[in-house]
Amino acid sequence: MRLHNKRALITGGSDGIGLAIAEAFLREGADALIVGRDTNKLDAARKHLGGNVETLSADLATSAGIAAVVEQEKKSARPLDILVNNAGVAFLVPFETVSEEQFQQSFALNVTAVFFLTQRLLPYLAASASVINISSYFANKMIPNRPSSLYSLSKGALNSLTKSLAFELGPRGIRVNAIAPGTVDTAMRRKTVDNLPAEAKAELKAYVERSYPLGRIGRPDDLAGIAVYLASEEAAWTSGGVFAIDGGYTAG
């Protein structure tokens, strides 16, 4: 098992990509603490995962939520080997209509939470810890009729943070990488697509089918392999990378 005896914290581990990563980590022998807001979703995830799973309900878009996670870690007798900053929010709204509230919510979760959660967990990280940030292809590549200025800006900032932290924390032995998934079929994606008018939905479906060289969008589990690799000793010399896992989408 590639993550035997490792402890992992996965934000947004109760659904979608985070849940698939938690499942893969457990399969590889890790213990996991998963964080989300909705206790029902957390309970369902714990049942689904079985194994050594702790859950914590906290809103990471708030300082109190970040503090609650740090408090929980403080209580642990073992250092944290793997931190997956996965929880995120996507407002795909036209630039001219983005509200200050949406801007702040987006940055609070996609950037500020990653910055301060990682900073405040530093004293509890293992000497050779792996930090994995879940970014998005949207940092660099846009989709017609999917206005992404706010979301792209937040994920671009996350990529930049990934590289600067790899540089700053490397001398301590801490590795920092990001995974940039293509479109993945999760609740987040369904929420943004379900709001589209029927014609735009059909257009998007056709666009996706012709744009993904591998012919389909992703499943949450498609991100699990790279996450296990980055968390494991096999990636001992891998840091500062932003790994596109997207069925070839950004190759074009």
Ligand X SMILES: NC(=O)c1ccc[n+]([C@@H]2O[C@H](COP(=O)([O-])OP(=O)(O)OC[C@H]3O[C@@H](n4cnc5c(N)ncnc54)[C@H](OP(=O)(O)O)[C@@H]3O)[C@@H](O)[C@H]2O)c1
Per-position x/- string for 175-204, each x denoting binding to ligand X as judged by CB under 6 A, each - no binding:
------x-xx-xxxx---------------
| Adjacent-strand bridge partners of 146 | 143
Contact 229, 23 (CB under 8 A): no
- Binding part of the chain for ligand X, among 25-33, 46-54, 88-96, 224-232 by CB under 6 A, reads 88-96
The answer to whether 134 contacts ligand X (rule: CB under 6 A) is yes
Count of residues interacting with ligand X (CB under 6 A)? 31
Min CB(136)–ligand X separation in Å = 4
**Residue closer to ligand X (CB basis): 16 or 241:** 16
Instruction: Give yes or no: 151 in active site.
Output: yes
Count other Cβ atoms within 10 Å, centred on residue 1. Answer: 11
CB of 196 to ligand X, least distance (A): 14
Side chain identity, residue 92: L
Q: In angstroms, what is the minimal distance from the CB of 88 to ligand X?
A: 2
Q: Which range of residues in 14-22, 139-147, 207-215, 234-242 is near ligand X by CB under 6 A?
A: 14-22
Residues 6+ apart with CB under 8 A from 90: 136, 138, 151, 188, 192
Element (H or E) spanning 81, and its range?
A: strand 80-85
Q: Note the Cα 215 to chain centre separation in Å.
A: 24
Stretch that binds ligand X, among 22-30, 37-45, 94-102, 206-214 (CB under 6 A): 37-45
> Between 126 and 203, whose beta carbon lies closer to ligand X?
203
| Using rule CB under 6 A, residue 247 touches ligand X | no
Segment contacting ligand X (CB under 6 A): 56-64, 118-126, 165-173, 196-204?
56-64
Q: How far apart are CA 187 and CA 225, in angstroms?
A: 21
DSSP per residue, 78-107: S-EEEEEE---------GGG--HHHHHHHH
In angstroms, what CA-CA distances link 102 with 12, 99, 111, 157, 209?
19, 5, 13, 16, 30
Find residue 218's DSSP bridge partners.
184
CB atoms within 10 A of CB 73: 22
- In angstroms, give the least distance from the CB of 164 to ligand X: 19
CB 235 within 8 A of CB 130: yes
Catalytic option among 137, 151, 212, 249: 151
Please identify, using beta-carbon distances, which residue of 14 and 162 lies nearer to ligand X.
14
Give contact residues for ligand X (rule: CB under 6 A). Answer: 11-12, 14-18, 35-38, 41, 59-61, 65, 86-90, 109, 134, 136, 181, 183-184, 186-189
**Residues with catalytic annotation?**
151
